[in-house]
Amino acid sequence: MGQEIKGIFRWRLLVIWIAVVVFFIGFMSQLKADVENAEGKGDGWVQTNGPYGGEILAIHEAPEGVLLAGTSGGGIFRSTDRGDTWAPVNTGLRFEPGEGLSIRAFAHNGELIYAGATNALYASTNGGDTWYQVPIFGKGFVSVSDIMFIGARVYVGTLNKGVWYSDDGGESWQPVIVTIGDRMYTASVNGWVLYSDDGDSWRPVPPNNRLGAMLIRELSSIGTTLVAGTENTVFRQRTNEDVLTAINDDSVEQQINAFAAMDNLLFAAGYMGEEGSGLFRSDDEGDSWTNIATDEMTYTVKAMAVYGTTLYAGTPGDGVFRSDDKGDSWTAVNDGLTHREVSTLLAVDENTVFAGTSGGGVFRTIDGGNSWIEINTGITNATISELEVVGDRLYTNVGGKIVYTVDGGESWQPVKIPSKSIRYGFPTLSVSDGELYTCAVRYAPREQGEEIAGIFTVDAENNTLVELIVDKNLDLIECMEVVGTTFYIGTLHDGVIRWESGSDPSPTNLGLEEHHYIWGLSGNGESVCAATGNDEIYRFRDGQWEPIHSADMTNSGMSDLRWIGSTLYATFWNGGVFRSVNGGDSWTSINDGLDEASAASIGIDGTELYIGTFTGVFRWISAKERWEPVGSLPHQILSLAVLDGFLYAGTAYNGVFKIRIEK
């Protein structure tokens, strides 16, 4: 009996021990899942280490040398090592599903840091570790455009509610009154824009009145004088004044892209009425302006930065210019600046300048602009609109270069370009018979004349581009489809162009010029189809184009077009997925299983079909004739590809994610 009791006791101990082990394993698995979800990697999806870069809207030096980068759609990234590495710091920020969050401006006073976003004003008191929303605008929607400290007072410019200020560290806020002629304008905490003729009786501005005075684009200061630029006016508020007063009269239109101040000088980039577009300088707080732009600035300046007596100007195409004599003369300083679309500048000392670009991420110079290096490690803000697989390589185009990975996204390498003295742009990629092709635009040095476009292939063995054809008529390229040795190129204004490799000495225009631009092409050997900017689909057969879109597709926002064997698929932002099994003669909507009728991209793996939407990825289950979700990925999906058992998703603003898939 004793032995029996001992056996039962041992058995119970074993059961209890097994239960404890199972519980511990389950607990650790759940803990791991919770951590992964907190990092945005839950449900199987993992963000790859790059490709790095993206669209940078603002760069700011916070206390203790911390750098903050505001991005388009990806929130905020922080660097504590002068930009060598970055990490996201978005705790507390409110991201919009499928759209992300854009940060346009920063400002700080002591430990208090403000960040201006497309949906709110945020603040941090711990260097950006956490953020909280500043409730200064009541219930109405607000879009912050700029922030400015003058002493302890902080001004916040918005795109829809004018200018607000606080004198008590953000505890309370007041709207700034704007005067245009004899009429006053202001905003209310209820979200209304008001006007008054006497300052006592305020009335709502009519809904159909587009009030430029409320659309603040830039703020600056000269001493204690606040300057604000809007869609059509420059305003000024001098010391002890209560209102922002329009400097120009109603007949002069002024559109400001950027401000900068140096001593008693005010610099403004934009449009100045009869003076036209340019870069202007004022020594009387904006009463009069002198155009100081150089002829080499073929693009209007978009960003400026000042340190001491040095002024930097950034353009959306010509890169960065430097002036050491208050704008009287300029020098282009772009060596190493491989992405010339500059959107923001920050000068932190006499030699160190940071440049944020529209797609290429962040660059840094430590010699006053004489040489630049890319410093994007950790900035996973890149928008990935194309993913292509060739052999064991996954390719994409980002930041003005083609990059690839062979290790599942752990590292990305650039494809070498033929000449370091010429910049290239790569609007599209295409794969045919195991070869990767790209349409490219060569931005020739100014002294060599105009830009020239062409078709290149990627020599994988030597990891370099090889030129196939260059033709100035291959301009404003939007897309390309390669079928065998036939190249179809979709353009912005010239319709569809065809080039036969090895036989046709020059490209041939196939027409469709009158149908806006051609952004999508797909062919299957029997015919090629084109998607146009007005949501129409055309099929090229027997030497002519014929429309094949159905009435159900009208005004649905077309996003992708793809032949898969003999079946043609089309996706729409507002209409989901359509399928045609007869070459486009008739179409069927196939949206069963989608959580919303949005679709942005199509991915193929043999006979497997995937689509990306505003909020995730779905796989087509042909036996059930419906879509099923692939994990949970709350980002807008722009491209899909499969390699080595992983499905890769290129997102808007958040780089590349991957998930293991089961066959």
| Per-residue model confidence as pLDDT tens digits over 621-655 | 999 999 999 988 888 899 999 999 999 999 999 99
Range of the domain at 636: 549-663
Cis peptide upstream of residue 51 (ω within 30 degrees of 0): yes
What would the mean pLDDT of 156-163 be, rounded to a whole number? 90
Which of these, 552, 641, 631, 636, lies nearest to 588 by C-alpha position? Answer: 552
Percentage of the chain lying above the pLDDT 70 cut: 89
Which helix (H) or strand (E) covers residue 578, if one does?
strand 576-580
CATH number, position 576: 2.130.10.10
176-205: pLDDT as tens digits? 998 887 888 888 877 778 888 877 888 888
d(CA 282, CA 262): 10
Indicate if the alpha-carbon torsion angle 528, 533, 537, 538 is positive or negative. Answer: negative
- The C-alpha atoms of residue 273 and residue 603 are separated, in whole angstroms, by 49
Sign of the Cα torsion 449, 451, 455, 457 reads positive
> What does the pLDDT average to over 360-380?
96
* Poorest-pLDDT segment among 356-370, 471-485, 531-545: 471-485
Residue 412 domain-assigned (yes or no) = no
- Report how far residue 432's alpha carbon sits from residue 360's, in angstroms, rounded to the nearest whole number: 28
Q: Maximum Cα–Cα distance for the chain, whole Å? A: 109
Reported confidence tier of residue 476, pLDDT bands at 50, 70, 90: confident
**Structure-token match 């010239």, residue found:** 494
HSE-CB of 545 using CA atoms within 13 angstroms: 20
Give the separation between CA 619 and CA 626, rounded to whole angstroms: 8
pLDDT band at 10 (very low <50, low <70, confident <90, very high): very low
* Per-residue confidence (pLDDT) for residue 441, from 0 to 100: 84
The answer to whether 113 and 120 have CB atoms below 8 angstroms apart is: no
Residue 660 lies in a domain: yes
- The H-assigned helical ranges of 39-151 are none
Res 404 pLDDT > 70: yes
CB 562 within 8 A of CB 604: yes
Q: Which two tokens stand for residue 337?
A: 């600046």
Q: Could you tell me if 656 and 649 are in contact, meaning their C-beta atoms sit under 8 angstroms apart?
A: yes
Q: Which residue bears the tokens 């010509």?
A: 318
Residues 6+ apart with CB under 8 A from 350: 307, 308, 310, 368
Residue 237's Cα: distance from chain center in Å? 34
Answer yes or no: is 557 within a domain: yes
What pLDDT was estimated at residue 2? 38
pLDDT of residue 302: 96
Taking phi first (over 0 means left), then psi (-120 to 50 degrees means alpha), and beta for anything else, what does residue 381 get?
alpha
The backbone torsions φ and ψ at residue 359, rounded to the nearest 5 degrees and listed phi first, read 130, -25
| CA count, 13 A, side-chain hemisphere, 204 | 7
Residue 198, helix vs strand vs coil: coil
CA distances in angstroms from 494 to 479, 491, 548, listed in the order given: 12, 6, 21
Q: How far apart are CA 326 and CA 143, in angstroms?
A: 33
Describe the chain by its helix, strand, coil percentages, rounded to 5. 10, 50, 45
- Asked if residue 441 belongs to a domain, the reply is no
CB atoms within 10 A of CB 32: 11
**Residue 18: predicted pLDDT:** 35
Position 607 in a domain: yes
pLDDT of residue 8: 33
- pLDDT at residue 33, as a whole number: 38
Any idea what DSSP says for residue 415?
A: P
Which residues neighbour 388 within 8 Å (Cβ) at sequence distance 6 or greater? Answer: 394, 395, 396, 429, 430, 431, 436, 641
Element containing residue 331 per DSSP (H, E): strand 331-332
Handedness of CA 6, 7, 8, 9 (dihedral sign): positive
Average pLDDT, the chain: 87
Tokens found for residue 270: 């934009």
Pick 17 or 457 by higher pLDDT.
457
For the chain, count helices (H), then strands (E).
1, 62
Query: Does residue 207 have a pLDDT over 70?
Result: no
pLDDT of 365? 98
The reported pLDDT for the residue numbered 274 is 82
- pLDDT (0 to 100) of residue 26: 41
pLDDT at 32: 39
55-97 residue pLDDT tens: 999 999 999 999 999 999 999 999 999 999 999 999 999 988 7
Residues 593/630, Cβ–Cβ less than 8 Å: no
Does 283 map to a domain?
A: no
- Could you tell me the pLDDT band of residue 597, with boundaries at 50, 70 and 90? confident
**Contact (CB, 8 A) for 430 and 440:** no
Helix (H) / strand (E) element for 113: namely strand 112-117
State the DSSP string of 616-630.
-EEEEETTTTEEEE-
Q: Which is more confident, 425 or 277?
A: 277
Is 378 part of any domain? no
User: In angstroms, rounded to a whole number, what is the distance separating the alpha carbons of residues 417 and 414?
Assistant: 9
pLDDT in the model for residue 38: 33
Q: Are 340 and 317 in contact (CB under 8 A)?
A: yes
Question: 317: closest CA among 335, 300, 331?
Answer: 300
Q: How many CB atoms lie within 10 A of CB 639?
A: 24
Q: Is the dihedral of CA 22, 25, 29, 30 positive or negative?
A: positive
- Lowest-confidence region among 119-123, 351-355, 425-429, 636-640: 425-429
Write down the pLDDT at residue 7.
40
Record the pTM.
0.88
The pLDDT value recorded for residue 444 is 64
How many Å apart are CA 220 and CA 244, to the nearest integer? 13
Does 186 reside within a domain? no
Domain count, the chain: 1
